[in-house]
Amino acid sequence: MVPSPAEPVAAQGTSEAESLGPAPVGAAPLPDLGPSDSPEAAAEKVEVEVELAGPAGAEPPQPPEGGWGWLVMLAAMWCNGSVFGVQNACGVLFVSMLKTFGSKDDDQMVFKTAWVSSLSMGMIFFCCPIASVFTDIFGCRKTAVVGAAIGFIGLLSSSFVSSIEPLYLTYGIIFACGCSFAYQPSLVILGHYFKKRLGLVNGIVTAGSSIFTILLPYLLRVLTERVGLFYTLRVLCIFMFVLFLAGFTYRPLIPRVRDKESGIKGGNRSALFQRKKFSPPKKVFNFAIFKVTAYAVWAVGIPLALFGYFVPYVHLVKYVNERFQDEINKEVVLMCIGITSGVGRLLFGRIADYVPGVKKIYLQVLSFAFIGLMSMMIPLCNAFGALIAVCLIMGLFDGCFISIMAPIAFELVGALDVSQAIGFLLGFMSIPMTMGPPIAGLLRDKLGSYNVAFYLAGIPPLIGGAVLCFIPWIHSKKQRKTNKTTGEEKMEKMLENQNSLLSSSSGIFKKESDSVI
């Protein structure tokens, strides 16, 4: 259940605690959150208050669908932009790293340099399961703020290295881990504020990375040419500092419940904290979500499709440098992907709101089919204009895949388990996204061309998309089984009630007969 503020009670003489219904037997008293309680103090009590806010079986409060949520949406949008905009524009940094650290005697420099960007992207997703646990324990705000601070430190330290190897640690691990802890809460917090508009809001938020992907390649090219790689990384630290400030907007939503008994501020409050102190510990990793077969298949199909996903982002600028040497603005290929990716996120995010339930997965199947085909078509483009067209189509369906990940996760496991469900999935995604670009770089070093690398990069999305096609069937089969079991349980309960009623009626009739006799 996603906590959100309770509606105030206007009726005179009726307390808010009474409006929620009678308290369960044996429950500890509810805390009185007076006007003096700050949002920070209230946030510390969210775990207990959500547990005690109302009787068992009460309807969960609905997200506000706006309000402060719009500011949260903008902060999450900046998060997506600053994290993945830099990652998607890594092709420009990749070329700059080759110039800065490269040597003509090193025939595996492309392979070594590709590890920096791919390790960074992979670590972002690899740390997401851990970040989801921290989000559950400490909340979205604290996790995001600390993550942005770590990312800032990693990026700043990357600007003082003297060779390519230290970047594996500073840029590939420290910076990426910080980005992961800042990024994962941005996915979860949106579900606190939106439900009906969640698809649209996710489209807007994920469009942040598209906007940055459009602008950053030009900015990075100008910076790397004029001030060099190291000062460029220091300029990028500004983006992480703004992300640090944006994390403070992730205000938790909690039920504000008052008890009419004024004595609650005294000794009764101690009973509340005793209950919190001695409550059984929660599971750190919720592996029970893998018992949901549809989610388990999803968690296998998505990583399977992503072995070639990140290859164009890393190697496309280098490929254009080799294939179309006369072109001046070679980073325009990344800009094209960014433009249509933003359109795709907004368009398909809105479409997903009208696609019922788990059938949203077919949108991802469609996106993987086009991403795979476009990757294979890159080496076939003999004209630069044809390559631009391929990148535009690839970006459109890239946006489709990304924008509906969170809505699908909500459909498969529900709001209660969505944080770790997304975290585990992103963790699994880290392996193929880390391995793909270096393998492509190795093929380039060995074969002297990127053609085979792009052909092979298009195969995994087609295979992964085929696996995802089974999810709606698996989910509907499970739903039918659950509905059948629920119906049988209701029927048994109804028969038990009827038998109990007949037994009591028979007893009454017997007593009346005995009294007459």
pLDDT in tens, 220-266: 888 888 888 889 999 999 999 999 998 898 887 754 333 333 444 44
Q: How far apart are CA 505 and CA 501, in angstroms?
A: 6
Least reliable range by pLDDT among 41-45, 102-106, 403-407: 41-45
218, 231, 170, 186: which is closest to 79 by C-alpha?
186
- Indicate the pLDDT class of residue 441, thresholds 50, 70 and 90: confident
349 token code pair: 């995010």
- Indicate the pLDDT class of residue 463, thresholds 50, 70 and 90: very high
Return the residue matching tokens 């390519």. 164
In this predicted structure, the answer to whether residue 48 has a pLDDT above a threshold of 50 is: no
Residues 302 and 243 in one domain: no
Instruction: With respect to residue 225, please indicate whether it lies within any of the assigned structural domains.
Output: yes
Question: For position 51, what pLDDT does the model report?
Answer: 37
Question: For position 368, what pLDDT does the model report?
Answer: 92
Contact 331, 91 (CB under 8 A): yes
111, 186, 117, 173: which is closest to 145 by C-alpha?
186
Residues 233 and 84 in one domain: yes
Question: For position 439, what pLDDT does the model report?
Answer: 86
- The number of residues in the chain equals 517
Side-chain-side CA neighbours of residue 504 (13 Å): 5
Question: For position 430, what pLDDT does the model report?
Answer: 81
Higher pLDDT, 258 or 512: 512
Q: What mean pLDDT do residues 210-222 have?
A: 83
One DSSP character per residue, 190-258 reads HHHH-STTHHHHHHHHHHHHHHHHHHHHHHHHHHHHHTHHHHHHHHHHHHHHHHHHHGGG-PPP-----
pLDDT tens digits, residue range 124-158?
Answer: 888 888 888 888 788 888 999 999 999 999 999 99
Question: For position 278, what pLDDT does the model report?
Answer: 37
402, 422, 407: which is closest to 359 by C-alpha?
407
Instruction: With respect to residue 349, please indicate whether it lies within any of the assigned structural domains.
Output: yes
Q: Which domain holds residue 152?
A: 62-253
What is the tally of structural domains in the chain?
2
122, 127, 119, 116: which is closest to 150 by C-alpha?
127
Contact 366, 400 (CB under 8 A): yes
204 Cβ contact partners less than 8 Å away, ≥ 6 residues apart: 73, 77, 345, 346, 349
Contact 190, 203 (CB under 8 A): no
Q: How far apart are CA 208 and CA 341, in angstroms?
A: 10
Question: For position 466, what pLDDT does the model report?
Answer: 92
Instruction: With respect to residue 49, please indicate whether it lies within any of the assigned structural domains.
Output: no
Residues 367 and 438 in one domain: yes
With 0-12 / 13-18 / 19 or more C-beta atoms within 10 angstroms meaning exposed / middle / buried, residue 120 is buried
Residues 88 and 200 in one domain: yes
- Indicate the pLDDT class of residue 370, thresholds 50, 70 and 90: very high
Instruction: With respect to residue 88, please indicate whether it lies within any of the assigned structural domains.
Output: yes
Residues 454 and 324 in one domain: yes
Higher pLDDT, 54 or 388: 388
Residues 202 and 75 in one domain: yes
Question: For position 267, what pLDDT does the model report?
Answer: 44
> Which amino acid is residue 303, in one-letter code?
P
Residue 298 belongs to a domain with what CATH number? Answer: 1.20.1250.20
Higher pLDDT, 50 or 243: 243
Question: For position 468, what pLDDT does the model report?
Answer: 92
Question: For position 445, what pLDDT does the model report?
Answer: 81
In this predicted structure, the answer to whether residue 464 has a pLDDT above a threshold of 80 is: yes
Q: How far apart are CA 66 and CA 492, in angstroms?
A: 44
Residues 89 and 237 in one domain: yes
CA terminus-to-terminus distance, the chain? 60
Q: What mean pLDDT do residues 29-51 have?
A: 39
Q: How far apart are CA 26 and CA 55, in angstroms?
A: 12
CA distances from 84 to 210, 436, 473, 477 (A): 8, 17, 33, 37
In this predicted structure, the answer to whether residue 183 has a pLDDT above a threshold of 60 is: yes
Helix and strand element counts for the chain (H, E)? 23, 0
Question: For position 188, what pLDDT does the model report?
Answer: 79
Most confident among 79-88, 100-109, 385-394 (mean pLDDT): 385-394
Instruction: With respect to residue 453, please indicate whether it lies within any of the assigned structural domains.
Output: yes
% of residues, the chain, pLDDT over 70: 73
Instruction: With respect to residue 260, please indicate whether it lies within any of the assigned structural domains.
Output: no
Question: For position 175, what pLDDT does the model report?
Answer: 93
Higher pLDDT, 273 or 295: 295
pLDDT tens digits, residue range 58-94?
Answer: 445 566 676 777 888 898 889 988 888 888 777 788 8
Q: Would you tell me how many other CB atoms lie within 10 Å of the CB of residue 351?
A: 17
Residues 118 and 220 in one domain: yes
343, 333, 355, 344: which is closest to 454 by C-alpha?
333
Domain finish residue from 253, 274, 301:
253
Instruction: With respect to residue 487, please indicate whether it lies within any of the assigned structural domains.
Output: no
CA distances from 65 to 53, 183, 465, 477 (A): 21, 21, 32, 32
Question: For position 507, what pLDDT does the model report?
Answer: 60
202, 204, 268, 330: which is closest to 17 by C-alpha?
268
Higher pLDDT, 309 or 363: 363
Return the residue matching tokens 């992480």. 240
Residues 326 and 181 in one domain: no
Domain finish residue from 233, 253, 273:
253
Higher pLDDT, 199 or 381: 381
Contact 123, 172 (CB under 8 A): yes
- Indicate the pLDDT class of residue 502, thresholds 50, 70 and 90: low
Question: For position 107, what pLDDT does the model report?
Answer: 60
181, 82, 175, 91: which is closest to 134 by C-alpha?
181
Residues 128 and 228 in one domain: yes
With 0-12 / 13-18 / 19 or more C-beta atoms within 10 angstroms meaning exposed / middle / buried, residue 36 is exposed
Instruction: With respect to residue 36, please indicate whether it lies within any of the assigned structural domains.
Output: no
CA distances from 205 to 185, 267, 396 (A): 13, 46, 16
Residues 471 and 339 in one domain: yes
Instruction: Kindly give the residue spans of alpha helices, DSSP state H, lying in 355-417.
Output: 361-377, 384-403, 405-413
Q: What is the CA radius of gyration of the chain?
A: 27
Q: How far apart are CA 29 and CA 18, in angstroms?
A: 13
248 token code pair: 């403070």
Question: For position 467, what pLDDT does the model report?
Answer: 92
Residues 373 and 457 in one domain: yes
Q: How far apart are CA 444 and CA 449, in angstroms?
A: 5
Averaged confidence pLDDT in the chain: 75
